[in-house]
């Protein structure tokens, strides 16, 4: 009935880059995991903060006013309305926490955009 | 401006068992860390789910209908209204995610109960 999951093991199910998968929920927030490699796309989430937890590797988070290199074990919340662009020079594993309402690439739509239905697949 | 924190390093600031510290926020949820050792107290949070992420060690989560041993890296959401009692045979480090409104020991108050003000200290 009370079924935990192992965070590292959950990444075995992730095969595509930049395609988050929903693995859990706490209140109105979804837990998602994703493997990242390369550059994503500049975007903002108008109404929702988005938390990044680096599970493996490192991630450069670019902002309009600078950039932050996130190393393994680092946690950063990108505040709502903040333009950001994640760049992973090498493969990086991240845990994301954000509301169910959050759109993958904000109001930007590219070939990388994944719907929530995609993320539940 | 955009300041990450390292999850493992954050535990350096935790000196007391069963005294969660707020280390971050995403939307209406607080991120807290705690060191646990021994048995806590049976309680439930009527309106809030509570997520446990085992950062180091292991934790036995007792429920009225059974128990689950959580190992390092495991994640479990205790649904709202569910009686639970965390037991750590050895020191265990956990990351908690729960709303700001969550009371530490639910409606039970013991000498272990910490207010939100305590947790921000």
B chain contacts of residue A1, beta-carbon cutoff 8 Å: 63, 65-66
B chain contacts of residue A6, beta-carbon cutoff 8 Å: 71, 73-75
Say whether pLDDT at B120 is over 80.
Answer: no
Q: Is the dihedral of CA A62, A93, A2, B116 positive or negative?
A: negative
A chain contacts of residue B23, beta-carbon cutoff 8 Å: 75
Q: Is the dihedral of CA A86, A87, A91, A92 positive or negative?
A: negative
- Average of per-residue pLDDT across B37-42: 93
A chain contacts of residue B65, beta-carbon cutoff 8 Å: 1
- Compare all CA atoms of chain A with the CA of B76 and give the residue at the minimum distance: A4
Please give the structure tokens belonging to residue B81: 């209204």
CA distance B19 to chain A (A): 21
Spatial CA neighbour of A75 closest among A56, A53, A45 = A53
pTM: 0.89
Q: Which strand (E) or helix (H) includes residue B92?
A: strand B84-99
Residue B119 is predicted with a pLDDT of: 80
Return the residue matching tokens 């493969």.
A91
Q: Is B21 helix (H, G, I), strand (E, B) or coil?
A: strand
Tens of pLDDT, residue by residue over A52-79, are: 999 999 999 999 999 999 999 999 999 9
Pick the CATH number of A7-120 from 2.40.50.140, 3.40.50.720, 2.60.120.10, 3.30.565.10: 2.60.120.10
Q: Strands B74-78 and A5-6, how do they pair?
A: antiparallel
Please give the structure tokens belonging to residue B103: 């009371």
CA B32/CA B98 separation, integer angstroms: 8
Residue A119 is predicted with a pLDDT of: 80
CA A76/CA B18 separation, integer angstroms: 25
Tens of pLDDT, residue by residue over B24-35, are: 999 999 999 999
Looking at residue B115, the DSSP 8-state letter turns out to be: -
- Compare all CA atoms of chain A with the CA of B78 and give the residue at the minimum distance: A2
Q: Is A7 helix (H, G, I), strand (E, B) or coil?
A: helix
For residue B88, the cross-strand partners are B38
Q: Taking the domains of chain B in order of start, what are their residue ranges? A: 7-120
B chain contacts of residue A26, beta-carbon cutoff 8 Å: 29, 49-51, 77, 97-98
Residue A121 is predicted with a pLDDT of: 61
Say whether pLDDT at B1 is over 80.
Answer: no
Q: Around Cβ A80, how many Cβ atoms within 10 Å?
A: 16
Please give the structure tokens belonging to residue A88: 């992973």
Say whether pLDDT at B88 is over 70.
Answer: yes
Spatial CA neighbour of A72 closest among B54, B97, B6, B52 = B6
Burial of B112 (0-12, 13-18, 19+ CB in 10 A): middle
Q: Around Cβ A82, how many Cβ atoms within 10 Å?
A: 17
Residue A11 is predicted with a pLDDT of: 97
- Compare all CA atoms of chain A with the CA of B6 and give the residue at the minimum distance: A74
| Contact state of B28 with A28 under an 8 Å Cβ cutoff | yes
Tens of pLDDT, residue by residue over A5-46, are: 999 999 999 999 999 999 999 999 999 999 999 999 999 999
Spatial CA neighbour of B54 closest among B87, B23, B83, B22 = B87
Q: Strands B21-26 and A74-78, how do they pair?
A: unpaired
Complex ipTM value:
0.86
Give the residue ranges of DSSP H helices in B3-65: 7-10
CA distance B6 to chain A (A): 4
- Compare all CA atoms of chain A with the CA of B100 and give the residue at the minimum distance: A27
């Amino acid at each position: 009935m009370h079924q935990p999951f192992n965070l590292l093991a959950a990444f075995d199910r992730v095969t595509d880059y930049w395609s988050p998968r929903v693995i859990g929920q706490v209140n109105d927030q979804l837990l998602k995991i994703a493997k990242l490699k390369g550059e994503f796309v500049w975007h903002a989430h108008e109404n929702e903060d988005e938390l990044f937890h680096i599970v493996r590797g490192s991630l450069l988070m670019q902002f309009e006013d600078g950039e932050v290199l996130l190393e393994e074990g680092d946690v950063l919340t990108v505040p709502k309305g903040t333009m950001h662009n994640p760049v992973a020079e090498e493969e990086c594993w991240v845990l994301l926490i954000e509301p169910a309402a959050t759109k993958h690439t904000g109001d930007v739509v590219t070939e990388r955009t994944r719907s929530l239905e995609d993320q539940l697949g």
